[in-house]
Amino acid sequence: MCGIIGIVGRDEEDVVVDLINGLERLEYRGYDSCGVAVVTGGSILRARAVGRLQNLKAKLDDSGLSGCVGIGHTRWATHGKATENNAHPIMTRDVAVVHNGIIENHKELRFDLQNDGYIFETDTDTEVAALFLQREMDRGASHRDAFRRLLKNIDGSYAFGVLFNALPNAIVAARHRSPLAVGLGRMTCVGSDAASMSGMCDKIIYLEDGDQAEISTNGVSFFDKNFQHVERKVHKMSDNWADSDKGKYPHYMLKEMMEQPNAIRKTILHNQMDHHILDGVSRILILACGTSYHAGMVARYWFEKFLKIPTNVEMASEYRYRSPIIEDGVMAIIVTQSGETIDTLEAMEHVRRNGCSRVAAIANVKNSAISRSADFVFYTEAGIEVGVASTKAFTAQLTILAEMAFHQHEFLLRELQNIPTLCEEILLSHDRLKEIAENIQKANSVVFLGRGALYPIALEGALKLKEISYIHAEGFASGEMKHGPIALVDDSVPVVCLCPHDELFDKNVSNIQEALARGSNIIVLSDSSGSPLLPAEVTKIILPRVQSELAPILYPVPLQLLAYYVALLRGADVDKPRNLAKSVTVE
């Protein structure tokens, strides 16, 4: 889950500042280490640093590094620890390489290269690519032939950006199962996503799987997996990244939580359901990972209740390693924030290969790999989400899934339009959540409970807390408490219960009583009707009343805020939690 950027400047313009700007927009993909390399004076020079981008900036201030062609990288470590030696760009005498992906046969290639006398200096899989290129050129191959031989000999996933000493005015790039695009504008760029090129480019060309590109001061050439020259479609680049700063907020996560009402409104406005999309569908298959998987789990309750269509929800990362049966009449719904998640993309391709003829996608990024491959696309109009922990994209995903489930139920669709206002009520009065965070911050473990369609929201609440505060948290179906999880509960373990006043209220109260008999820190989210009926000993968070079917869109909001305030109290980086990256582009 790394981010790469490459820039070919115009009229000998220095690109180092622009490389850093591009890396800032890519830092959500990884922030273990970072680096840049430029061609200058017939040589490739680089600077690298461990940790955040400001560490690299400090080095560059002292180094005076400059050049009109360069590449940059921000890393999420896979092979090798986060050290400066393992940071990209990886260099040999004549080559510098940045890479997003995993070279699965790196051990075999390493063995061959070592037998040929080449010495490895890093623990990365990427170094085999750099040394392979160096060996081929030492044997007399041109840069183009060396690169193509590399692509033929590696297994796995990659997005490469390569500088060659012998090619001082160009960058050579290629992709396989990892996202990569070329940007055209003030500069000519290559990058992991459109965001990295924002401000420099106004047009974008997405490389297809297996494509190779040569970006130079003379223009851009594209080649397909057979190395035949091809043309690729040019798209207008969105200017959404103009609004991607934190503004008045201390963190992106807080800003993005506060943007949820507007994101939900825009998502409702821009997604009108075609009532015929489900014609002939006998089963729905939802594929997703992480937070998006939880949205899919909620949708299963909705789809089976209101559409009367059997629905399966599968973890995309596991799905294709089973032997799933895809019968006629199945519609797959792919749920993803980035539209580039490798596990989800691979699962989507798996269902395609196995006969699924109708694939819909729910994505937040236009022209992403998954949205380009789907038959139907519904966009969550959440805007750019920078914080690693998804907030507004999640509630926007739920909004689209609700529109799909309720498309024949006018009353629920009208009620859905009230959700943004109710969401605003929570966001404008969350001091109570700050107080409760004080009672959670020192816990070693937290339990979340929910029933029905709020069970996935309990899972999501636990995920948010563990993602950004590093407290161990687990979500459970409330009815499963007595089948094992209740053994975890004592006075030191807070229990967060989702308990709106609905048809399951009495059963939820019974579970709360069971928890109270074993622990003293029980936190209950309910509404004005349910709150007076709760045991006096619990800590209450009172939310606006909402139609029970729509509670899964509203109840995540206070859980996000609770996780945020706990993380702040513990001194964690809420926007860039350790070991995580926003877009998962490697297996």
**In this structure, what is the dihedral angle of CA atoms 47, 6, 581, 87, given to the nearest 10 degrees?**
-30
Determine the pLDDT at residue 148. 97
CATH fold match for the domains 246-427 and 429-587? yes
Average pLDDT over residues 285-295: 96
Tokens read off for 530: 């349910």
Q: Which residue has the tokens 């992709």?
A: 175
Catalytic residue among 266, 466, 540, 582: 582
Cβ atoms of 476 and 485 closer than 8 Å: yes
Measured distance CA(85)–CA(63) in Å, rounded: 18
Exposed, middle or buried, 437 (CB in 10 Å: 0-12/13-18/19+)? buried
Q: Say whether pLDDT at 107 is over 70.
A: yes
User: Which residues, 6 or more positions from 330, have their beta carbon under 8 angstroms from its beta carbon?
Assistant: 281, 282, 283, 284, 285, 351, 356, 358
Topology of the domain comprising 246-427: Rossmann fold (3.40.50)
Q: Say whether pLDDT at 414 is over 60.
A: yes
Exposed, middle or buried, 82 (CB in 10 Å: 0-12/13-18/19+)? middle
- How many other CB atoms are there within 10 angstroms of residue 457's CB atom? 28
Q: Say whether pLDDT at 121 is over 90.
A: yes
Average pLDDT over residues 211-238: 93
- Residue 586 binned pLDDT confidence (cut-offs 50, 70, 90): low
Determine the pLDDT at residue 6. 97
Per the annotation, the verdict on 482 as an active-site residue is: no
Determine the pLDDT at residue 1. 61
Q: In this structure, is the dihedral angle defined by the CA atoms of residues 392, 394, 400 and 405, taken in order, positive or negative?
A: negative
Measured distance CA(78)–CA(60) in Å, rounded: 26
Give the architecture-level CATH label for domain 3-242: 4-Layer Sandwich (3.60)
Catalytic residue among 2, 34, 189, 201: 2
Q: Give the single-character DSSP code of 243.
A: G
- Nearest by Cα to 295 from 356, 378, 231: 378
Determine the pLDDT at residue 585. 58
In Å, what is the CA distance from 227 to each residue of 160, 188, 211?
Answer: 16, 22, 8
- Nearest by Cα to 369 from 521, 209, 529, 134: 209
User: Which residues, 6 or more positions from 47, have their beta carbon under 8 angstroms from its beta carbon?
Assistant: 35, 36, 37, 56, 59, 60, 63, 65
Average pLDDT over residues 310-315: 96
* Tens-place pLDDT, residues 325-350: 888 999 999 999 888 888 898 899 99
SS3 of residue 360 by DSSP: strand
Amino acid at 410: E
Domain ranges of the chain: 3-242, 246-427, 429-587
Q: 10 φ, ψ to 5°?
A: -105, 140
Determine the pLDDT at residue 246. 83
Topology of the domain comprising 429-587: Rossmann fold (3.40.50)
Average pLDDT over residues 385-390: 91
* Tens-place pLDDT, residues 175-184: 998 889 999 9
Tokens read off for 317: 């990362």
Determine the pLDDT at residue 274. 77
SS3 of residue 478 by DSSP: helix
Average pLDDT over residues 377-400: 94
Q: What is the pTM of this model?
A: 0.85
Average pLDDT over residues 207-228: 94
Determine the pLDDT at residue 583. 64
Per the annotation, the verdict on 582 as an active-site residue is: yes
Greater confidence (164 vs 64) lies with 164
